[in-house]
Amino acid sequence: MSPTPPPFPASTVLGYPRIGPRRELKRALESYWEGRSTRAELERVGAGLREATWRRLAELSLEGLPSNTFSLYDQVLDTAVLLGAVPERYLAAGDPYFAMARGTEGLAPLRMTKWFDTNYHYIVPEIGPETVFKLDASKPLAEVREARALGYGTRPVVLGPVTFLLLADPSGAALDRLDEVLACYEELLAALAAEGVAWVQLDEPALVADRTPRELATAGAAYDRLGSAAARPGLFVATYFGDPGEALPVLAATPVEAIGVDLVRGGAAALPELPGKTVVAGVVSGRDVWRTPPGRALAALAGVRADRVTVSTSCSLLHVPYDVEAERDLDPGLRGRLAFAEQKVAEVVALSSALPSVPAGEGPRGAAVPSAPLTAPVPREGRSPYPVRAAAQAEHLRLPVLPTTTIGSFPQTGELRAARAAVAAGALEPDAYERLVEAEIERVIRLQERLGLDVLVHGEPERNDMVQYFAEHLDGFAVTRNGWVQSYGSRCTRPPILHGDVSRPGPITVRWASYAQSLTSRPVKGMLTGPVTIVAWSFVRDDLPLRDVVLQVADAVREEVRDLEAAGVSIIQVDEPALRELLPLRRASQPEYLEWSVSAYRRATSGAGDRTQIHTHLCYSDAGEILAAIDGLDADVTTIESARSGARILGAVGGFGRGLGPGVYDIHSPRVPDAGEVEDLLRATLRALPAERVWVNPDCGLKTRAYEEVEASLGNVVEAARRLRAELTDAGR
């Protein structure tokens, strides 16, 4: 390729949804995994989705079409495969790719964690001394050829080397392997150039978080080296999810020809002048569903001082649904304010044609909501200090030492999902549906009694999703029929749209909790989703500071807590799995976030009396980063993921001084742990924590598992708890 690439296209998007407008990929994946179809059939569905996407983008007159944004599971896993970082133990599996993603018989999958501050999850690459990096460029090359056969020139999108290594090991230690990895990227660039590719996009979102001077220097050196490659396409380095800050001048000093900046989340900081560069200006948000105010976007574009400006999305459109036109049930007034992926592409194209007429000069940049001081008063704590509460709860609940419980959901059956769909289609009476839910609750209660669990749950059969269900019962939210967004692999959510002031018209969960409690003499734990998580997993209005929105939701949850308590529910769990996820990427903004998010949680839960035991649940192993905040939630019992990360978390959380349930059963895998294995984990826990404070529970809810596995696994969990309980009682005699 020539050292001077052709001009960058005037409009583009950084990436596109890939699950399919009707979740075609989900169905194809699950069918393949269940052995109902072949790998070739799966590949055909993928090819069809890629073709439909390129055709649609071209029809919408988008100039720069991306490729390699499709993935059968995850783009980070694809990058590991691209670089040959496939751990040896997976090579013998029937399908090593999916073995890494999901595990197989006797082989645990690679770890999975959150993609920056989104609800998307990526597979964490495993890099060890034995890793031999070796390029396998077949996927990006095949997609380039596939698009070309359809008549489209594309820009392959590949995760950049710096972010790849930082995702593999956030400590930065894997950056030591940069030279080896860069050799693969050089080879990739040469192969793409030989294929006639004009531009390649290397994604470097890690550059919007705080980076050490060494990391920044490493990034600069990496792009100096890639930029000086003899044969290569034009280099476009995309930063997104925030302000690249100091990374921007570093990139600007390298030979890369184009730099992507997120002008929606990038904040108000003025962009430095970037002479000689193309700026790919992300002015259409890839993280929300609101139409872009043209004035705001044009002003942001006008503030860019560079050789050339391309209009783009702030990040990949992976995080938004396909098409708002499919949502015929949405209130037309609201629908008119919304833009999903297709509409956002149209906005990019429209802005790009408006661009030449934009007067140059400074303008306000970005869509950051002006932050107001925290005005909402946090109500006075209703609850006594922990020791007082703990005594009242012990007296009231009379639980054994090492009480066993679960995190809330039991398997969601196909029958229930089909019944919900039938109610929505008008083919099933709501009464009949409610009887089905009651029957499922009874089944779950009886199962737990039979297994011998101490604190029962109703199993959440009435919920399509732990956030969407609450959104459907609160004012201020709208939900979609088909607004699916990929969360991980084949799993999707329909994030609700929080568009107005939130309030609770009436009790939401009380009838199901009371029904469950009426069936048994053991305590049944009420189950709510916390305010931060409800907001984190929704698309949220941008005319109010986030904390004010969260506090409105907290008030609704507070009312529900009150009603549950009044109905005789003596244990209430308020889940906050997304507390970590919303943590700002820059440290400077973290204390303020943690302050208001924790106070929102306390606002939601502090209406409960001392006798009522409040549980919380967080299910990611990186909880270690926000320990002080988790402690600040002041829940009587905290359950966290731990089965996979082992005792690592225990040392850290041991200081809480309240109840703690480190998960002893990894629910992300179909594998059934045996009682001995659970016992070992419990013994490790008991070495770190006093027995009176330890709870015995799985890592997370059981909704994605099958009844068979759950029954066997929970049986072993109860068995292990009983063995240790017997030892403790003997020792105490």
The yes or no reply on residue 623 touching ligand MET (CB under 6 A) is no
Q: Does 527 bind ligand MET (CB under 6 A)?
A: yes
Output the six-digit token pair for 109. Answer: 């999958």
Q: Is 277 annotated as a binding residue?
A: no
| Two structure tokens written together for 287 | 């993280």
102's tokens: 């999901």
DSSP assignments along 262-281, one per residue: ETTTS-SPPPPPEEEEEEEE
Cβ distance to ligand 39S smaller for residue 114 or 177: 114
For ligand 39S, give the closer residue by CB, 421 or 706.
Answer: 421
Known binder of ligand: residue 634?
no
- Contacting residues toward ligand 39S, per CB under 6 A: 119, 412, 414, 417-418, 420-421, 464-467, 487, 491-494, 537, 704
Residue window 560-579: x/- pattern of binding to Zn ion, with contact defined by CB under 5 A: -----------------x--
Is residue 136 marked as binding? Answer: no
| 619 is annotated as contributing to ligand binding | yes
Answer with the entry of Zn ion, ligand 39S, ligand MET, none that 467 interacts with (C-beta below 5 to 8 A by kind). Answer: ligand 39S
Q: Name which position in 154, 310, 313, 409 contacts ligand MET (CB under 6 A).
A: 409
Q: Does 701 bind ligand MET (CB under 6 A)?
A: yes
- Length of the chain, in residues: 733
Helix, strand, coil percentages, rounded to 5, for the chain? 45, 15, 40
Choose the binding region for ligand MET from 208-216, 390-398, 407-415, 591-599 (rule: CB under 6 A): 407-415
Query: Would you say 118 or 343 has its CB closer to ligand MET?
Result: 118
Q: Is 534 annotated as a binding residue?
A: no
Q: Kindly state the number of chain residues that form the binding site for Zn ion, as judged by CB under 5 A.
A: 3
Cβ closer to Zn ion: 160 or 577? 577
Judged by phi (left if over 0) then psi (alpha if -120 to 50, else beta), residue 271 lies in: beta
Look at the alpha carbons of 553, 556, 560, 566 in this order and tell me if their dihedral is positive or negative.
Answer: positive
Bridge partners for 107 per DSSP: 104
Determine which residue in the list 229, 390, 619, 626 makes contact with Zn ion, applying CB under 5 A.
619
**Of Zn ion, ligand MET, ligand 39S, none, which one sits near residue 499, judging by CB under 5 to 8 A according to partner kind?**
none
- For residue 635, give the nearest of 599, 605, 667 by alpha carbon: 605
Residue number, nearest CB to ligand MET? 701
Range list of H helices, 123-278: 138-149, 161-168, 178-194, 213-227, 247-252
Question: Furthest-apart CA pair in the chain: how many Å?
Answer: 86
- Looking at 577, 662, 663, 673, which residue binds ligand MET (CB under 6 A)? 577
- Residue tagged 């909790």 (tokens): 513
Would you say 491 is a known binding-site residue?
Answer: yes
Three-class secondary structure of residue 539 per DSSP: strand
Classify 260 as helix, strand or coil: strand
Q: From the list ligand MET, Zn ion, ligand 39S, none, pick the one residue 487 interacts with, judged by a Cβ distance below 5 to 8 Å according to partner type.
A: ligand 39S
Residue 515 backbone dihedrals phi, psi, to 5 degrees: -60, -45
* Secondary structure, 3-state, 344-394: HHHHHHHHHHHHHHCCCCCCCCCCCCCCCCCCCCCCCCCCCCHHHHHHHHH
> What is residue 213's three-state secondary structure?
helix
CA distances from 516 to 197, 430, 439, 443, 675 (A): 61, 19, 10, 10, 28
Q: Which is nearer to Zn ion, 352 or 713 (CB)?
A: 713
Assess whether 319 carries a catalytic annotation.
Answer: no
Closer residue to ligand MET (CB): 173 or 706: 706
Cβ proximity of 386 and 658 under 8 Å: yes
Residue 278 site contact among ligand MET, ligand 39S, Zn ion, none (CB < 5 to 8 Å, cut-off depends on kind): none
Nearest CA-CA partner of 581 in 521, 527, 626: 626
Contact letters for Zn ion, residues 666-705 (x by CB under 5 A)? ----------------------------------x-----
CB-nearer residue toward Zn ion: 255 or 624: 624
Min dist CB 733 to Zn ion, Å, is 37
CB-CB contact of 161 with 185 (8 Å): yes
DSSP string, 543-571: SS-HHHHHHHHHHHHHHHHHHHHHTT--E
Single out the residue of 408, 476, 545, 661 in contact with ligand MET (rule: CB under 6 A).
408
What three-state secondary structure class fits 660?
Answer: strand
- CB atoms inside a 10 Å sphere around CB 69: 26
Q: Which does 408 bind (CB under 5 to 8 A by kind): Zn ion, ligand 39S, ligand MET, none?
A: ligand MET
What are residue 83's phi and psi, to 5 degrees? -95, 5
- Yes or no: say if 101 and 77 are a contact pair by the CB < 8 Å rule: yes
Is residue 403 a contact partner of residue 452, using CB atoms and an 8 Å limit?
Answer: no
Q: How far is the CB of 687 from ligand 39S (least distance, A)?
A: 30
Instruction: For residue 395, say whether it is annotated as part of any ligand binding site.
Output: no
Minimum Å distance from CB 420 to ligand 39S? Answer: 4
Q: Minimum CB separation from Zn ion for residue 690, in Å?
A: 25
For the CB of residue 521, give the shortest distance to ligand 39S in the complex, in Å: 30
**Residue 119 is labelled as binding a ligand:** yes
Residue 671 CB, nearest approach to Zn ion (Å)? 18
CB of 515 to ligand MET, least distance (A): 18
Q: Residue 619 interacts with ligand MET (CB under 6 A)? A: yes
Question: Is 703 one of the binding residues for ligand MET (CB under 6 A)?
Answer: yes
- Between 509 and 552, name the residue whose CB sits nearer to ligand MET: 509
Give the burial string for 139-153 (b: 16+ CB within 10 Å, else e).
bbbebbebbeeeebe
By beta-carbon proximity to ligand 39S, the closer residue of 408 and 607 is 408
CB of 466 to ligand 39S, least distance (A): 5
In sequence order, the 6+-apart residues with CB closer than 8 A to the CB of 333 are none
Residue of 121, 319, 499, 668 marked catalytic: 668
Least CB distance from residue 56 to ligand MET, whole Å?
A: 33
Backbone phi and psi for residue 643, each to the nearest 5 degrees, phi listed first:
-55, -40
C-alpha count within 13 angstroms, C-beta hemisphere, residue 662 = 32
Question: Is residue 17 involved in binding Zn ion (CB under 5 A)?
Answer: no
So which residues are the catalytic ones?
A: 668
Annotated binding site: 26, 119, 407-409, 460, 491-492, 537, 575, 617, 619, 641, 700
Residues that bind Zn ion (CB under 5 A): 577, 619, 700
Residues that bind ligand MET (CB under 6 A): 407-409, 466, 527, 575, 577, 617, 619, 700-701, 703
